[in-house]
Structure 1
Amino acid sequence: MGKCCKCNRRLLCMCLLPCMMTGHLLVYVMVSIFVTISYTPPKINVHYIAPGISSNSSALASHPLGPFWNLRLEDSALWNQLQHAWDRQHNPILRGNTTGVTGKPRVKLLSEIEEECLSDCMSHKCSVPRMDDINSLPEQMRAFIRSMHCREYPLLINQPDICKRNNISFGLEGPMLLMAIKSQVGNFENRQAIRETWGRSGLVKGESNKKGLLVYTVFLLGRQDSSTGPHPDLKNLLDLENQKYGDILQWDFRDTFFNLTLKDLLFWNWLEEYCPTAIFVFKGDDDVFVRTGALLDYLHKQWEEHNLWKAYTNETSMNLFVGDVINNAMPNREPSTKYYIPERFYKGVYPSYAGGGGVVYTVSLALRLKEMSEKVRLFPIDDVYLGMCLHRLGISPSHHPGFLTFDLPATHRNNPCSYSSVLLVHRRTPKQMLTLWKQIQNLSQC
């Protein structure tokens, strides 16, 4: 009898066990559904309208608000229309389609019509791209739209051998770092202060690594913009400066704020032809201050780590891009600012990008950016355009807290020890550069 009861209990347990497991599963599913339905994702607000605070601010949203590269055509925005046409043209699936779905010859793409006008870039006779209400836009935007299809301008001053100087005597193939500084014809004082301080060419020692590394500096110039008013003729002075220092690169285009993007494109072309053996490029403005020794220490460490891992990963190229990274930026819609981008020209958010005061990237990446730029329409804000090209390459810019493109707090600017963790700081006059350069030589005592 006892054995029979035990068997019945065991049989009952075996029958009830699946029911209990099913019940538990049902409860788990119901709870999960309830949590999912009741969950409200956190609202992400826009904290930044370009230009403004950088990504190291705790108030800044850390995730993109929406996709930068929108596949849906924005009919009312000129840049989006032009880029959409190029995206279709460079799409390998659509590129071979010479007829529409109905078998009729397809309509000529806007980008193809635009190509017919490239020969008129210098004379500005080309009327493409067209915009109905272009006359209602600020002059700098009108000028950009009229010439945004032009990408080739002749070199007025070149330095074809700058990256070959002293290489043999130093036993090096090329420089460790090429400083490419965006300047203007009249900024003689800025260029001279840079030459005497952080932009010296030659063997430069790091702060912790005392081994000398080869550094060369070039200044990127367009021609004086006559539309901003009468300017004294500084050509002879510029020629004398170039004869003495041999570090000027000048192209025949108007040197305006919206044409800074051209300096990137034209510099990449020059880099590929005349200095492909350099390892890193620093691209910055002529009013920044750089702790060159500390920057070289950082880059030398990055390069050594890359070479160490290269043997294991077979990754020959290094895609380093470092600066003060800005996320979730929206175009500035205030017409009174120089950063103004009207909705009629561009719709959408900006990709992650590094503030244009100064960035560092590898030459191998620069050459990839050059290739990608041929598929990305020119944009009037140069650092945003760099972010667009990086986005298309699938590369994210790396944030470094030492790149202070929005300066130190006012209470710390006059304290030399405040610069002990800084690689770059923006907005310094030539006099301030000279003073600060002397002060940071004793940072080891801080």
Structure 2
Amino acid sequence: MGKCCKCNGRLLCMCLLPCMMTGHLLIYIMVTIFVTISYTPSKIPIHYIAPGISANSGALASHPLSPFWKLHLDHSSLWNQLQHSLDRHYNPILQGNTSGTLRKPIAKLPTPIRDECLSGCASHKCSKPSQYDVNNIPEQMRLFVRSMHCRSYRMLINQPNMCKRNKTKSGLDYPMLLMAIKSQVGNFENRQAIRETWGRSGFVKGEANKKGGFVRTVFLLGRQDSSTGPHPDLKNFLDLENQKHRDILQWDFRDSFYNLTLKDLLFWRWLKQYCPTAIFIFKGDDDVFVRTGALLDYLSKHWEEHKLRRAITNETHMDLFVGDVISNAMPNRDPSAKYYIPESFYRGAYPTYAGGGGVVYSRSLALRLIEVSTKVCLFPIDDVYLGMCLERLGLSPSHHPGFLTFDLPETDRGNPCAYKSVLLVHRRSPKEMLTLWHKLQDMNSKC
């Protein structure tokens, strides 16, 4: 009888042991889940670091402290939808490829996204993106939406020899500064005033160290916009101007405010093919005034510093991007405003960007902008689009107080000495450019 009890006890223990172990395991799992849910780790600030950058100095484009490219961009707006699809397409994790290259060709993307965001096309083949109502937005914005996927346009006027070196051993004929001025067909007076003043091609002396550098100037034009009203055909006048000065670049797209972004994209491609030796690029409007000699002093200093740094670190990139920086800007929702952006097209804040009156950036950064622009859908405001591309590279523009996008105080505009610390001022008419140019010639001796 005793032996039977002992056997029954052992059998009971053997039966209960797995149940007890399973119970303990379930309790452990539940406690672990509870702790995991209740634990909130401290937030770590996100810093995008661009390849080749070793320090955050005023000479280089700075690193943004917070990301503009958010995963939770609103899906109810057209640009946000297209950009999300583009981000997913170029995301190496989602593509299952850690090398950063794409396994799937673009042709495998959904047809609307492939057609609307990734393809280049001739201007006559453009059509509005699918499932987007363009009837309730102004005509200029409507035209942009219908062609925002188009990035390839025929070149009407080219200057393939603009930056070719002469048969001299001197490096002075290398463009230290290539000035790319956004103009329109009818702005003949603006272009001529720039040629006679701050935009002269050739060797330009610096103001402080007299070292200076070789400067080349080109004017970026689209096709004359006939949609804004009846205008005389200026093609013959433009041809005569180009035969005389050989500084016009023109593409076959409608030249409007919302198409200024195209001038950046097409100019970058031209730069890569025809002027890869330019060290710095100035991009500006044809109604600004630039103290070119002072700007060359500023750029020469950074170029010398870069050469010293390169000799020590073998660093090849110089990610300089300088201008009048605008932060925390929001889209203008007033339909009558020049910069109007409807909420159905774009939602969210703008990235930090530099005012489009004029900016300066390095050639190495321009070449990187060419590549990154393929991953950013076109945006109708060109300086904001540049800010988007910089954010994609993990950079922010550097502010310089000498870039006066919003002009001097009215009481100082006629005083030459007030321009002593100015590199760029906006705006000036052709007559004002010529007058100011002559006034500033003896500024150093008078001030």
Q: Could you list the runs of 4 or more consecutive aligned residues of structure 1 that deviate by over 6 angstroms after TM superposition?
A: 63-66
Task: Label 1:308 to 1:67 Cα distance change in 2 as closer, same or farther (>3 A).
Answer: closer
2:291 aligned partner, one-letter code: R
Determine helix, strand or coil for the equivalent of 1:209: coil
Determine helix, strand or coil for the equivalent of 1:425: strand
Instruction: Trace 1:319-334 onto structure 2 (pairs within 5 A).
Output: 319-334=319-334
1:284 aligned partner, one-letter code: G
Distance in 1, matches of 2:330 and 2:65, equals 10
Alpha-carbon distance, 1:316 to partner: 1.2
Distance in 2, matches of 1:77 and 1:151, equals 21
State which drifts further: 364-373 or 109-118: 109-118
Q: Give the TM-score, by structure 2 length.
A: 0.80
Match of 1:122 in 2: 123
Distance in 1, matches of 2:228 and 2:414, equals 35
Instruction: Trace 1:176-195 onto structure 2 (pairs within 5 A).
Output: 176-195=176-195
Alpha-carbon distance, 1:123 to partner: 2.0
Distance in 2, matches of 1:299 and 1:209, equals 12
Task: Label 1:442 to 1:161 Cα distance change in 2 as closer, same or farther (>3 A).
Answer: same
Alpha-carbon distance, 1:312 to partner: 2.2
Alpha-carbon distance, 1:171 to partner: 3.6
Task: Label 1:175 to 1:335 Cα distance change in 2 as closer, same or farther (>3 A).
Answer: same
Alpha-carbon distance, 1:288 to partner: 0.1
Alpha-carbon distance, 1:294 to partner: 0.3
What's the C-alpha RMSD, in Å, of the aligned pairs?
2.1
Match of 1:408 in 2: 408
Match of 1:112 in 2: 114
CA contact (8 A) 1:85 1:109 kept: no
Match of 1:136 in 2: 136
Deviation readout 1:10-44 (Å, 9 max, x if unpaired): xxxxxxxxxxxxxxxxxxxxxxxxxxxxxxxxxxx
CA contact (8 A) 2:193 2:430 kept: yes
Determine helix, strand or coil for the equivalent of 1:241: helix
Task: Label 1:203 to 1:167 Cα distance change in 2 as closer, same or farther (>3 A).
Answer: farther
1:336 aligned partner, one-letter code: S
Alpha-carbon distance, 1:116 to partner: 9.1
Which consecutive unaligned segments of at least 5 residues does structure 1 have? 1-62, 98-105
Distance in 2, matches of 1:323 and 1:403, equals 6
Alpha-carbon distance, 1:65 to partner: 11
CA contact (8 A) 1:203 1:214 kept: yes
Which consecutive unaligned segments of at least 5 residues does structure 2 have? 1-62, 98-107
Instruction: Trace 1:426-445 onto structure 2 (pairs within 5 A).
Output: 426-444=426-444, 445=446
Alpha-carbon distance, 1:169 to partner: 6.4
2:123 aligned partner, one-letter code: M
Task: Label 1:407 to 1:167 Cα distance change in 2 as closer, same or farther (>3 A).
Answer: farther
Alpha-carbon distance, 1:108 to partner: 2.6
CA contact (8 A) 2:115 2:149 kept: no
Task: Label 1:276 to 1:331 Cα distance change in 2 as closer, same or farther (>3 A).
Answer: same
Task: Label 1:307 to 1:126 Cα distance change in 2 as closer, same or farther (>3 A).
Answer: same
Distance in 2, matches of 1:196 and 1:251, equals 25
Match of 2:84 in 1: 84
Distance in 2, matches of 1:107 and 1:189, equals 47
Deviation readout 1:315-337 (Å, 9 max, x if unpaired): 11211000000000001111111
Distance in 1, matches of 2:305 and 2:366, equals 20
Determine helix, strand or coil for the equivalent of 1:72: coil
Alpha-carbon distance, 1:110 to partner: 4.0
CA contact (8 A) 1:328 1:352 kept: yes
Task: Label 1:414 to 1:128 Cα distance change in 2 as closer, same or farther (>3 A).
Answer: same
Alpha-carbon distance, 1:68 to partner: 2.5
Match of 1:310 in 2: 310
CA contact (8 A) 1:64 1:328 kept: no
Aligned pair count reads 374
Task: Label 1:309 to 1:256 Cα distance change in 2 as closer, same or farther (>3 A).
Answer: same
2:393 aligned partner, one-letter code: L
Alpha-carbon distance, 1:162 to partner: 0.6
Instruction: Trace 1:268-307 onto structure 2 (pairs within 5 A).
Output: 268-307=268-307
Instruction: Trace 1:145-294 onto structure 2 (pairs within 5 A).
Output: 145-164=145-164, 166=166, 168=168, 170-172=170-172, 174-294=174-294
State which drifts further: 320-329 or 87-96: 87-96
1:179 aligned partner, one-letter code: M
CA contact (8 A) 1:65 1:328 kept: no
Match of 1:376 in 2: 376
Alpha-carbon distance, 1:376 to partner: 0.2
Alpha-carbon distance, 1:118 to partner: 5.0
Task: Label 1:116 to 1:333 Cα distance change in 2 as closer, same or farther (>3 A).
Answer: closer
CA contact (8 A) 1:289 1:433 kept: yes
Match of 2:36 in 1: none
2:339 aligned partner, one-letter code: Y
Correspondence 1:345 to 2:345: yes
Percentage identity across paired residues of the two chains: 73
Distance in 2, matches of 1:440 and 1:314, equals 40
2:114 aligned partner, one-letter code: E
Task: Label 1:337 to 1:235 Cα distance change in 2 as closer, same or farther (>3 A).
Answer: same
Alpha-carbon distance, 1:411 to partner: 1.0
Alpha-carbon distance, 1:93 to partner: 1.7
1:416 aligned partner, one-letter code: P
Alpha-carbon distance, 1:122 to partner: 2.2
Task: Label 1:127 to 1:403 Cα distance change in 2 as closer, same or farther (>3 A).
Answer: closer
CA contact (8 A) 2:194 2:433 kept: yes
Alpha-carbon distance, 1:107 to partner: 8.4
